[in-house]
Amino acid sequence: MKLLVNALTKFFCGLILVGVLIFLPAGTLCYGNGWLLIGLLFGPMLIAGFVMLAKAPALLEKRLDVKEKQGTQKGVVAFSGVMFVAGFVLAGLDFRFSWSPMPMPVTVVASVLFLAAYGLYAEVMRENAYLSRTVKVEEGQQVVDTGLYGIVRHPMYMATILLFLMIPLILGSWYALFVFACYPVIITIRLKDEEALLARELPGYTQYQKKVKYRIIPFIW
């Protein structure tokens, strides 16, 4: 029950925060793209939360822990927060003042890719029971090198990059896309710091790095 209350509290706090950041700058609740994003973002999140609560409560508990202990990672989280706030506010203002109208087909394609990225994210959580929102090595943790982890070393980051780059397109703002384009750079900093930690503290990770050469994008990087 404590885990359920914690999960629902964070869910609704996130929902309200995103709603305020989008609709307040827009100056209206009649922002269709804003409601579309909220549905696409929080609908699957709620379903996934209940599935994890029933089948993998330990994983859900890990996903709710967002307190980073590493100095570099704290900076990454802070910059990510600034990026999200700026991106959502700019998208709302863009709608309000019609700065950069976006064709509806772009939003439709972005919505499909967003859901595909969510599916990819769900598969990563299914494959890796050690998946956490903070950078750390747990007692007894083992290297996962099958499935998506046999293709790239960080499939979760691959999924989140696709997810977050689709957000401004769903919101219908080209200007906000420039803000969210910072996310791959932020993730690169996080990834390199994380890999240094894993190489030091997780047995077998250096061998895994040799086996799976690509970090996020197959055959590229």
The string of pLDDT tens digits covering residues 185-218 is: 888 888 888 888 888 888 888 898 889 899 998 8
Q: Tell me whether residue 217 is in a domain.
A: no
Q: Tell me whether residue 177 is in a domain.
A: yes
Q: Tell me whether residue 160 is in a domain.
A: yes
Residues 6+ apart with CB under 8 A from 77: 66, 68
Other beta carbons within 10 Å of 67: 8
pTM over 0.75: yes
Percent of the chain predicted with pLDDT > 70? 89
The number of folded domains in the chain is 1
Q: Write the burial class of residue 216 (CB in 10 Å: 0-12 exposed, 13-18 middle, 19+ buried).
A: buried
Taking 90 as the threshold, does the pLDDT of residue 73 lie above it? no
Q: What does the pLDDT look like over 26-35, one tens digit per residue?
A: 999 999 999 9
Q: Tell me whether residue 6 is in a domain.
A: yes
Give the domain extent around 21: 2-211
Taking 60 as the threshold, does the pLDDT of residue 134 lie above it? no
Q: How confident is the model at residue 8 (pLDDT cuts 50, 70, 90)?
A: confident
Other beta carbons within 10 Å of 61: 16
CATH assignment at residue 105: 1.20.120.1630
pLDDT value, residue 139: 61
Q: Tell me whether residue 36 is in a domain.
A: yes
Q: What does the pLDDT look like over 39-56, one tens digit per residue?
A: 999 998 888 888 777 777
Q: How confident is the model at residue 168 (pLDDT cuts 50, 70, 90)?
A: very high
Q: How confident is the model at residue 72 (pLDDT cuts 50, 70, 90)?
A: low
Helical residues (DSSP H) of 98-219, grouped into ranges? 104-127, 155-170, 174-180, 183-201, 205-211
Taking a C-beta distance cutoff of 8 angstroms, is the pair 115, 40 a contact? yes
Q: Tell me whether residue 66 is in a domain.
A: yes
pLDDT value, residue 76: 79
Q: Tell me whether residue 218 is in a domain.
A: no
Taking a C-beta distance cutoff of 8 angstroms, is the pair 176, 91 a contact? yes
